[in-house]
Amino acid sequence: MEFRCLAVDRDGQRPLTESWAGDTLVVGLFAGGGSGDGRGLAEELVGEALEGWLQRRRFEAKSGQTLTLERPGGTPATLILVGLGEPAEFGLDALRQAGAGAARTAASAGAEDLGLWFPLEGLEPAAAAAAMAEAVRLGLYDDQRFKSEAEPRSLPARVTLLGLGEAAAAGLAHVEATCSGVELARRLVAAPPNKATPQSLAEEAAAIADAFGLELKVLERADCEALGMGAYLGVAQGSDLPPKFIHLTFRPTGEVTRRVVLVGKGLTFDSGGYNLKTAGSQIEMMKYDMGGSAAVLGAARAIAEIRPAGLEVHVIVASCENMISGGAIHPGDVLTASNGKTIEINNTDAEGRLTLADALVYACGLEPDAIVDLATLTGACVIALGEEIAGLWSPSDGLAEALIAAGTAGGEALWRMPLRSSYKKGLKSHVADMKNTGPRPGGSITAALFLQDFVTRGLPWAHLDIAGTVWSDKVRGLDPAGATGFGVRTLVAWLVAGAAA
């Protein structure tokens, strides 16, 4: 799919088709017959009959509504009207929503040369171009790897963003790299646990390293033992699959001005261990418990292609499975992490934080300017924020604000949650330095406080709990039903903007 911007003169008398002659045109209309929308353009093609036709079809331009008009032999041969809702509520998010919906309608109508025209007054042109292109590309994502026979499907070869000129075209610069990163993350998350294993994640990292010239180190169980990673290895010990501790490094061409570490939870399956997940706890979905690792690998792929100057980026994944066997950890075991802290395991299902503990200690050893971890860490975060918003915890106001801004730029919602230190009481243990699980109320907060104990004080660190956002049961905006690839766009936007903390 190739994207380009084309300035079209809407004030003058020249019809659109003099400068653009694709087969399918999408035109955005505001609810309430708002001015400045695509009505004039639609009338240019349909004539004065437009209003009557819209009324007959009960098209009110509500957001999400689309209406297709076939014009056999005409240019364009298909006109798709898409509702944008109220003009006052129209912004980049609504634009993404409309762009993805229109692209799906256009693709099923067989569009090959697709043009989109939306009223973009008041929006920054480059940001609008990026949002539209990402919405079209990611909205048309389709994964049929695990079907014996793929359903035939065609995608437009060319997509033209009409009404956007030179200034906007700059916004397209990172679309291909970013979307490839999101798609990689989606593929990894959607892959079932008999296909996506610690070994296959390490292979995926090797493929990125080979393709883009990154450095890769994979620590085996013995290497992790030598580093004293007892928390991570405790989780891994119940599985027949060996753990893989992945460390992928992107080094910039010139001088390094900032070094950052991205850490992703990489549980390729979470059975809960002896605190086995029961019916209703979504055990069959726990393939997506490596969503954090998918996001950081996706971001690594994107950054390796974009190559931002001055940034050194490390990606860390302590990958393993949480399983049951004669060798698995018992509830009640005491594990020692690589910073020497001892942890009483009062719940084997709180395993993510154990793997992250050793990963964070390792990350701090790299002496970075900032660390961001992403993890499908707690069901409590899903209860608090639902499926559209990820939780963010950070002691650093600067890093929290920069990440939230990056999320807004990329179209991913983050909400800052409290790192309230008094809640650490919930992790008090009588036998070890701490327990791995606190009380149910505030469960996502005690999880974040647990992680904080493994991060060097004063080092800017942020934790993103993506348990709710990693998967979507239905098509929503530019997300398909299934893996969303959440986190990649936020990370890429944050890194490209200089990884402020």
| Active-site choice (187, 277, 287, 301) | 277
How many H-runs (helices) and E-runs (strands) does the chain carry? Answer: 15, 19
User: Under the criterion CB under 5 A, does residue 349 sit at the interface with Mn ion?
Assistant: yes
Question: What character string, x for contact with Zn ion (CB under 5 A) and - otherwise, covers 346-365?
Answer: ------x-------------
CA–CA separation, 347 and 21 (whole Å): 62
The verdict on whether 353 is a catalytic residue reads yes
Q: Which residues pair with 146 in a beta bridge?
A: none
Mapped onto helix, strand or coil, the DSSP state of residue 125 is helix
Which residue stretch of 22-30, 338-346, 347-355, 391-399 sits at the interface with Mn ion (rule: CB under 5 A)? 347-355
Minimum distance from residue 468 beta carbon to ligand BES (Å): 7
Binder of ligand BES out of 23, 176, 204, 270 (CB under 6 A): 270
Pick the binder of ligand BES from 321, 351, 412, 453 (CB under 6 A): 351
Residue 442 Cβ vs ligand BES, minimum distance, rounded to whole Å: 11
Residue-level length of the chain: 501
Token pair of 241 as six digits: 């699959």
Please identify which residue in 243, 352, 368, 480 interacts with ligand BES, judged by CB under 6 A.
352
Of 168, 402, 455, 467, which one interacts with ligand BES (CB under 6 A)?
A: 467
- At CB < 8 A and 24+ separation, what contacts does 86-91 make? 86/30, 86/31, 86/32, 86/34, 87/30, 87/31, 87/32, 87/34, 87/36, 87/37, 87/119, 89/63, 90/30, 90/119, 91/123
Q: Which of these is catalytic: 258, 287, 353, 489?
A: 353
Q: Is 265:360 a contact under the CB 8 Å cutoff?
A: no
DSSP-derived pairing of the beta strands 461-465 and 370-375: parallel
Please name the residue that has the structure tokens 């990693």.
Answer: 470
**Do the Cβ atoms of 246 and 272 come closer than 8 Å?**
no
For residues 369 and 94, give the distance between their C-alpha atoms in angstroms, rounded to a whole number. 35
From residue 472, alpha-carbon distances to 131, 270, 285, 312 in Å are: 20, 19, 11, 32
Can you tell me the distance from the alpha carbon of 278 to that of 271, in angstroms, rounded to the nearest whole number? 9
**Which residue in the set 16, 320, 343, 350 belongs to the binding site for ligand BES (CB under 6 A)?**
350
237 binds, among Zn ion, ligand BES, Mn ion, none (CB under 5 to 8 A by kind): none
**Stretch near Mn ion under the rule CB under 5 A, chosen from 97-105, 163-171, 236-244, 262-270:** 262-270
Tokens of 99: 């762009």
Find the angle CA(88)-CA(94)-CA(95) to the nearest 5 degrees. Answer: 110
- Answer yes or no whether residue 443 interacts with Zn ion by CB under 5 A: no
Q: Does 379 bind ligand BES (CB under 6 A)?
A: yes
C-alpha distances in Å from residue 430, one per residue of 331, 345, 348? 15, 12, 18
# residues contacting Mn ion (CB under 5 A):
3
Note whether 347 binds ligand BES by CB under 6 A.
yes
Determine which residue in the list 270, 358, 373, 479 makes contact with Zn ion, applying CB under 5 A: 270
Of 30-38, 112-120, 184-192, 376-384, the window that binds ligand BES (rule: CB under 6 A) is 376-384
Residue nearest Mn ion, CB atom distance: 349
Stretch near Mn ion under the rule CB under 5 A, chosen from 3-11, 131-139, 341-349, 391-399: 341-349
Looking at 58-66, 127-135, 223-231, 264-272, which segment touches Mn ion (CB under 5 A)? Answer: 264-272
Choice from 437, 469, 484, 490 touching ligand BES (CB under 6 A): 437
Query: How many chain residues bind Zn ion (CB under 5 A)?
Result: 4
**Residue 204 sits in the site that holds Mn ion (CB under 5 A):** no
Task: Find how far residue 387's CA is from the centre of its chain.
Answer: 12
Which residue bears the tokens 């129209």?
90
Our finding on whether 382 is near ligand BES (CB under 6 A) is: yes
**Where on the chain is the footprint of ligand BES (CB under 6 A)?**
270, 282, 289, 347, 349-352, 376-380, 382, 437, 443, 467
**Where on the chain is the footprint of Mn ion (CB under 5 A)?**
270, 349, 351
**Where on the chain is the footprint of Zn ion (CB under 5 A)?**
267, 270, 289, 352
- Residues with catalytic function: 277, 353
